[in-house]
Structure 1
Amino acid sequence: MNIEVIPQKIHKDTKLSLAAAKKVQVAAYARVSTDSDEQYTSFEAQVSYYTKKIQENPRWELVKVYADEGISGTSTKNREAFQDMITDAKNGKINMIITKSVSRFARNTVDSITTIRKLKEIGVGVIFEKENINTLDSTGELLLTIMSSLAQEESRSISENVTWGIRKRMSDGKYSLGYSRFLGFEKGKDGKPIINKEEAEIVKRIYREYLEGKSTHQIVSELEADKIPTPAKKVDKDGNLMCNWRPSTIISILANEKYKGDALLQKTYVTDFLSHKAKKNNGELSQYYIKDSHEAIIPPEEWEMVQVETARRNKPSYKHSGATVFSSKVVCGDCGAYYGLKVWHSTDKYRKTIYQCNHKFKRTEKCSTPNLSEERIKQAFIDSLSQLDRAQVLEDCNLAIETLRNDDTSEVRVRRLNAEIEVVVELVKKNPNMEQVEIDAYVTKYEDLVKKLNAEEHHLESKCAAIKRVEVFAANLKNLEPIIAEFSPRLWNLLLEKAIVGRDDTIKFVYYSGIENTVKI
């Protein structure tokens, strides 16, 4: 009996031909998912281990140890080193990849299988040491699918435990801030926010200028002109702090309750552990509001004034212009158009700026309301404030606030409509086999109730806004000096709804409290 030995032709791990003189181009992939010191030690150990392992094999040639540090493994999209490795493999630079385990490669079954199949199509294998899986084996993909599913469940479990821990801390009133992107605060020794005095001045400036009537775009322009760094503290290629502000950043700062010393927790939540996408919490989960949780940069009263001002500017019927402090406030008594700034003799020594009706010459009949200088408007406002019987006005404000608060008509209607909607929903749930005619009737009923509910909720929001507006008016009036010596842009913006210019050289001042008076100019 003759026995012929057929020599080995391919490598048992890489499945590549042994006849080829060229060494197998091997890469390794390492990853840790947090930035802790212990994990960093593990990270360094992985890199060192694979470098040594590949270099010790005479058939292998080290391409590179690709490593992602401090990045979650639930998705491959945000792992730069991983993506670079896959690109190099597609470009023929890698024949084989070694990694510690399936969970190091990816904890997402779909990502794992998709990536492995793409690599397999171009003859690149992946060896998972812990599970002893070679993806080029016939059983490799089946084993990988099973192991990836287990890794995904492990990731889900870890995510749920972390989420539970975070929510438990919130319910106990404990929280942390993203200090690296949070203007005005830094982490104190006890872990709580403390004020960064230099940055706090920027926050105060933003609030002050907003209450003086400036738009968010104007504030952005002036911060950039003064070379004020943004909260993110990003640097350019030369290492200089960048100053490219955005209106959305200003809006976020103005709306953040942490600047008045409070903290609203769980504003957002992660929808699932794979995508890590955050969604605004509109009531899907509990929230936790902590009053006086830390030192305030902005007095609570001023913060509330800003929220009232923002609500006013966001009204569909209101168009805010921050061109000057008088924009969108001074109104023509003849046609109802706003007054605008005009420049006469702009290029000679007789140059003069005045305010006049924007539609003065646009109608068939020219408006007869007078042109006004800035000083005349300012003095008229001072005179108007001085004429107010403050004690009586404050009494009227308190009565108005009490009346609005005692009117619970909208609250009662909202509760009743919500109860009716729940009844309709339960009836549909209990009768899954109802006829289409009945379904259509319930749908119509449901839509009608929702429409009424939305209207009542809007009315309720309007009532709350009115209460806040009168409270702001009363607070500012109460703090006025006995004698008003100079014009205040802040008071103009916070107290006054509009100033109507009459053709008889008068201005009627209409305040947010509903008080009106007329001044001769």
Structure 2
Amino acid sequence: MPTCAIYARVSDESQLKGESIEHQISFCQEIARRRSIETGEPWIVADALTYVDEGITGTSLVKRAEVQRLVRDARERKFDVVMFKGISRFARDTVDALVMLRTLLACGVRVVSIEENFDSQRDNAEFVFTIHSALAQAESEKTAVRVRMGAMQKAREGKWNGPAPDGYILNPETKRLEIDPTYAPVIREIFSLYVNGYGVRKVSSILNENGQRTKRGYLWTQRAIARILTNPVYVGDVAYGRRERKLVMPSEEDLLARRKMTIWTKNTEQVIVCRDAHPPIVDRETFDKAAVLMAKRRTNPGRSGDLQLLSKGLLKCRCGSSMVVHYNTRGTRYYRCASQAERGRGFCNQPFIRADDVEALILDRVRADVADVLQFKLEDIMYEPTSQIEEEIRGVRNQLDKALRASQLLFERFADGQISEEQFEPMNKNFRERVSQLRASEQDLQKVRDRMSAQDDFTELLKDTMRNLLHAKTSDVHVTRQLLERLIQTVLVTGQGLEITYKFKQF
């Protein structure tokens, strides 16, 4: 008597208004009823085992809360069979679909897809399922192309795609934007404040303090202000294709991660622009002036992509937001409240914290607390000046970093057309050879160090690891970060100092 779960999904608002979800569920219920008659064994379908994701695209499983609940219940053996109308309703990415199939099968769950007549108990599961999911992904990609082509044609005609931006309303008949008399004055005020010397943070603070909100009722943020100031819709133009989705290079912590991010399109020829498609809210002179000011005020964002010891939710502000890294004009690192960066000091007035100071303090605290738990003498794991071999390794790494930065700068100059290919090739070859030599030297030095520091005593090895990693002058930032993530739940910034919550039990 198998217990049956049902998964159903719709991917946009238009489907939500119909009976798509109800149709999928009733269809699966009917199949379960027929299977009961055919096998003479009742298939039990419980309402609590119906999983519905509404209004979420089919290309990502990570964002679907019901899929995560489905997996949790499968691990707890709450059902024996999971059914869905078609693989395209379950996953349109072949890799995601195969991972989910393997996960469910590992939990002892039978997988049934009705449209494809797939049954993991009967078919050559992975092979057949992969073929069907690949076809579903291909159909999803074809649909995306058709939608994009339709949107491009609408943009050429001056029609608007998607919801109307703040300051406009969308005419449902003409599909063109019309000025919203309620919110257009706010847009004019934003441009007026900015061109008269106020920055985006100050503009957002002024609007929020005056009780003004976005059309959707949210507080104004720096990002929202910046997007308005750079959006040509406010001078009457329709621009389509200014941004695109690209795969993000995976981090060293998760080489198999497949994340996408939205970036500005570098090829401006791909952008569709229809000028004077609707009434403007601001004149072009004001818009151009704001663009010039924004270009002047844009500062170097710092070492983008560098790993930080306490970022990504490890260090929390007293308001509950994460602390993120910020660089001043001299390149000094600070941690600041992420919500403050978005909403201004009116939301959170937490002062900036110098990154080097707080990282050194946290590492000292952690080292002392871990030593107490392991009953080590604190002086046994205090940081000691590195040996000559460590100094040599650090020197090689510094040279390697400089060579890599110079190589990257050379490539950027070549990509921007500042140097020719004839100039680029020999210079790039020299950099490649230099990098190769330095990496070989680093590996040789590491082998020597490993031979010198080989230890049979686990306790001494543990002390040595803590001595080298739980310190501001850590020999490997990536490993230190991973170690902190395993030891620390959160570090909370309070009015009295820092509160560390550990994942291990303190005595």
1:194 matches 2:183: no
1:439-467 CA-partner distances (Å, limit 9, x unpaired): 737999xxxxxxxxxxxxxxxxxxxxxxx
1:105 matches 2:79: no
Q: How far apart are residue 296 of structure 1 and its match?
A: 1.0
- Whichever residue aligns with residue 294 of structure 2, its letter is T
Q: How far apart are residue 196 of structure 1 and its match?
A: 0.9
Distance 1:218 1:442, change over 3 A: closer
Q: Distance in 2 between matches of 1:108 and 1:221?
A: 42
1:24 matches 2:2: yes
Q: Is the 8 A contact 1:100 1:130 kept in 2?
A: yes
Distance 1:68 1:129, change over 3 A: same
Structure 2 matches for 1:83-482, cutoff 5 A? 83-137=68-122, 139-179=124-164, 182-188=165-171, 189-231=173-215, 233=216, 241-242=217-218, 244-271=219-246, 277-283=261-267, 286-314=270-298, 418=417, 421=420, 440=429
Q: How far apart are residue 195 of structure 1 and its match?
A: 0.9
What is aligned with 2:444?
none
Identity, % of aligned pairs?
A: 26
Q: Distance in 2 between matches of 1:40 and 1:128?
A: 22
Q: Distance in 1 between matches of 2:159 and 2:179?
A: 18
- Whichever residue aligns with residue 27 of structure 2, its letter is Y
Q: How far apart are residue 31 of structure 1 and its match?
A: 2.2
Q: Which runs of 5+ in 2 are unaligned?
A: 248-257, 301-412, 434-507
1:201-245 CA-partner distances (Å, limit 9, x unpaired): 1112222222332232222222222221224x1xxxxxxx44x32
Distance 1:205 1:111, change over 3 A: same
- Whichever residue aligns with residue 68 of structure 2, its letter is Q
Distance 1:183 1:284, change over 3 A: closer
Q: Is the 8 A contact 1:47 1:67 kept in 2?
A: no
Q: Is the 8 A contact 2:158 2:278 kept in 1?
A: no
Q: Distance in 2 between matches of 1:178 and 1:118?
A: 38
How many corresponding residue pairs?
Answer: 303
Q: How far apart are residue 113 of structure 1 and its match?
A: 1.3
Q: 2:26 aligns with which of 45, 48, 66?
A: 48
What is aligned with 1:465?
none
Q: Is the 8 A contact 1:176 1:192 kept in 2?
A: no
Q: 1:79 aligns with which of 54, 64, 74?
A: 64
Q: Distance in 2 between matches of 1:258 and 1:229?
A: 20
- Whichever residue aligns with residue 40 of structure 1, its letter is G
Q: Distance in 1 between matches of 2:268 and 2:286?
A: 30
What is aligned with 1:455?
none
Q: How far apart are residue 118 of structure 1 and its match?
A: 1.1
User: What SS does structure 1 have at the residue aligned with 2:161?
Assistant: coil
Q: Distance in 1 between matches of 2:136 and 2:223?
A: 39
Q: Which runs of 5+ in 1 are unaligned?
A: 1-22, 234-240, 317-413, 429-436, 445-521
Q: How far apart are residue 301 of structure 1 and its match?
A: 1.9
User: What SS does structure 2 have at the residue aligned with 1:197?
Assistant: coil
Q: How far apart are residue 137 of structure 1 and its match?
A: 3.7
User: What SS does structure 1 have at the residue aligned with 2:239?
Assistant: strand
Distance 1:421 1:168, change over 3 A: farther
Q: Is the 8 A contact 1:169 1:175 kept in 2?
A: yes
Q: CA RMSD in A?
A: 3.4
Q: Distance in 2 between matches of 1:441 and 1:139?
A: 53
Q: Distance in 1 between matches of 2:245 and 2:17?
A: 24
Whichever of the two has the greater Rg, that structure is 1
Q: Is the 8 A contact 2:158 2:238 kept in 1?
A: no
- Which stretch of the first structure deviates more once superposed, 285-294 or 189-198? 285-294
- With normalisation by structure 2, the TM-score equals 0.53
- Whichever residue aligns with residue 105 of structure 1, its letter is F
Q: How far apart are residue 302 of structure 1 and its match?
A: 1.9
Q: Distance in 1 between matches of 2:278 and 2:222?
A: 27
Q: Distance in 1 between matches of 2:5 and 2:73?
A: 10
